[in-house]
Amino acid sequence: MASIKMKQVMEFFAENYDINLNDAEEYFMAIVSVGLSLNKEMRKDVAAIYNQNKLMFFESTKEFSGYNHVLLSSGDLEQEIYAKKTLGILLSAEQSELIKVKILRLIKKHYKDIYVYAQNNNYDGFRKKLSAIEDTSKNLKVTETLIVLFFYTMKQLNENIINLQVVENAFNAASLFININPINTDIQNELKRETRLAQVKQIVKDELGTIKNSSDILYSNHKDLKTMVSCLRNLLIIDKLDLDFIAPKVNQDDLDKVMLAFIKTTGKAEFDETQVVQSFGAGYIMKMLLNEYLRARELYLTYSDEDALYSELKALKEKLDTASLAKDTVEIQAHKLKSEIETHELKLKNALSEQSRFYEAQINELNKEIDRLKINLDAEMKNREELFQLREFFIDLKNDYSPTDTSLDLSRFIANKKLLIIGGTPSWRKRLEAKFPTILTADGFNDKIELRSYGEVDFVLFYSSYMSHKTYYKTVDFIRANDIPAGYIGRTNMDLVEFEIAEELNKRLAAH
């Protein structure tokens, strides 16, 4: 998980403070997760990133060995939810540059000074800023969080600028892994080592008797306990809660922890019986409520967490799909077995029916193929006709062709026909239109020509010497689609072109 240099830092603390390397990394990530989800604005920004890919971030968190790290759950329920969401984003950022950028933006927004100092590799400036914060806040957790965030930011920006000696000094300054050490805290060992515990137990037994259940505390007549319990009971009743109905069982381990809490509060070797009784009574009730709170919290995280439910639903769906596939397989096998025990007559009937359907399908495919070939044949015939026209035209040009029949009257051909000529120089088209106003002409180099704008055309002539390939093929596609007869001309002399057009129309229209 950690980068090369940060892993060296973790290895240093693991060796010097007897901490498992994996625990050190989990601790480091937990501090960053909590630090980036402390207030409403941070959580809003975290949610915006998290909601982009809930399942990916949730599964990254669940697969992380530090998912249930004590730091993540040390605050209220909302803090734990958002700290774990942040953890999922941080873990994904190790594999995605895009998510890493989002994390850096989050740090820059909510810890701008830290971001700037880390970006500039300015630890001295950061320490001065940190000293000012420490003067106003004596909470060592603030120092710890800010220092870890500083080096985490450096790691994300450029781990090569991290100085291991500076990191060591900084972590020592924050007493990281030393004073605040939830990783190494083993309550059971502490209970075993605490020599004063037996003394407190004896005082409790002498003053209150053997504590078997909550009634021994809630209904005790001890003068130092009765008033305090009554006050706490009334406090809950004011908020419509009955202590008798929410009091879970408290075991001996819980009682020992209540006594340990009192012992850790005082440095005395001898204890005042009144203080012991009152502290034990208050601690007992607090432990009952704390156990109930932790149970409710666990229930919520287990059964009400949206992401957990979604992940569970996904797993159930996969199981359902697997079961459905197995069911389908069994049904297929059952159908196969049923078919095998059918009579020979039914088998034969099915075989003949299947063969008939096969031949029908083959015939349909052949008919479709015939239709397709007919269409291709028609298209090929049109292509060949056009090829023949082009060949004839180019042979005419090669032989310096001149119209053979000069008696044809062009006016007669275009009297009731709409003729469109495409190509030719602008001056040539202008002279032609002046002499024959009913003839339509178009620029042969207009690649965006819209032939539909000319209406219904009876005949199209190409002046192929003055047109682009694109205009030509676009026009050919149009006349093919609309079954319009076409031909080619090539004369520039107005008298000759008149006879050429008349002869072409006479020949093509007669053939068409």
Note the pLDDT tens digit of each residue in 110-147: 999 999 998 988 888 888 887 776 555 445 567 788 88
Q: What is the pLDDT of residue 289?
A: 82
Cα–Cα distance, 80 to 301 (Å, whole number)? 10
- Phi/psi of residue 242, nearest 5 degrees: -110, 120
Residue 409, pLDDT above cutoff 80: no
Who wins on pLDDT, 204 or 89? 89
Residue 385 · residue 487 · CB < 8 Å: no
**Interval 282-312: pLDDT, tens:** 888 888 888 887 887 777 777 666 666 666 6
User: In the predicted model, what is the mean pLDDT of residues 322-347?
Assistant: 79
Cα–Cα distance, 149 to 154 (Å, whole number)? 9
Q: In what order do the strands lie in the sheet with 486-489?
A: 440-442, 419-423, 459-463, 486-489
DSSP annotation of 462 reads E
Burial 368-404 (b: 16+ CB within 10 A, else e): eeeeeeeeeeeeeeeeeeeeebeeebeebeeeebebe
- Phi/psi of residue 448, nearest 5 degrees: -100, 20
**Interval 433-457: pLDDT, tens:** 888 888 999 999 998 889 888 888 9
Q: What is the pLDDT of residue 101?
A: 94
Q: What is the pLDDT of residue 111?
A: 92
Name the pLDDT band for 191 (thresholds 50, 70, 90): confident
Q: What is the pLDDT of residue 84?
A: 92
Residue 423 · residue 462 · CB < 8 Å: yes
Residue 148, pLDDT above cutoff 80: yes
Residue 397, pLDDT above cutoff 60: no
E strand or H helix at 419: strand 419-423
- Percent of the residues in the chain that have a pLDDT greater than 70, as a whole number: 82
Q: What is the pLDDT of residue 381?
A: 67
Q: What is the pLDDT of residue 179?
A: 47
User: In the predicted model, what is the mean pLDDT of residues 243-252?
Assistant: 73
Cα–Cα distance, 430 to 424 (Å, whole number)? 10
Residues in contact with 214: Cβ distance below 8 Å, sequence separation at least 6, in sequence order: 247, 249, 250, 284, 288
Q: What is the pLDDT of residue 4?
A: 52
Two tokens, residue 436: 């024959």
Name the pLDDT band for 509 (thresholds 50, 70, 90): low
Rounded to an integer, what is the distance from CA 27 to the centroid of its chain? 28
Which fold does the domain 410-511 belong to in CATH?
Rossmann fold (3.40.50)
**Interval 248-264: pLDDT, tens:** 667 888 888 888 878 87
User: In the predicted model, what is the mean pLDDT of residues 368-375?
Assistant: 83
Q: What is the pLDDT of residue 210?
A: 86
Cα–Cα distance, 225 to 222 (Å, whole number)? 5
Residue 200 · residue 259 · CB < 8 Å: yes
Name the pLDDT band for 373 (thresholds 50, 70, 90): confident
> Residue 462 pairs with which residues in a beta bridge?
422, 488
Residue 395, pLDDT above cutoff 50: no
pTM tops 0.85: no
Who wins on pLDDT, 312 or 479? 479
> Domain extents for the chain?
4-173, 187-303, 410-511
Q: What is the DSSP string of 156-194?
A: HHHGGG--HHHHHHHHHHTTBTTTB-TTT--HHHHHHH-
Name the pLDDT band for 422 (thresholds 50, 70, 90): very high
**What is the SS3 assignment for 472?**
helix
Name the pLDDT band for 49 (thresholds 50, 70, 90): very high
User: In the predicted model, what is the mean pLDDT of residues 452-463?
Assistant: 89
Mean pLDDT across the chain, nearest whole number?
80
Cα–Cα distance, 159 to 363 (Å, whole number)? 72
Name the pLDDT band for 399 (thresholds 50, 70, 90): very low
Q: Which range has the top average pLDDT, 48-52, 197-201, 215-219?
A: 48-52
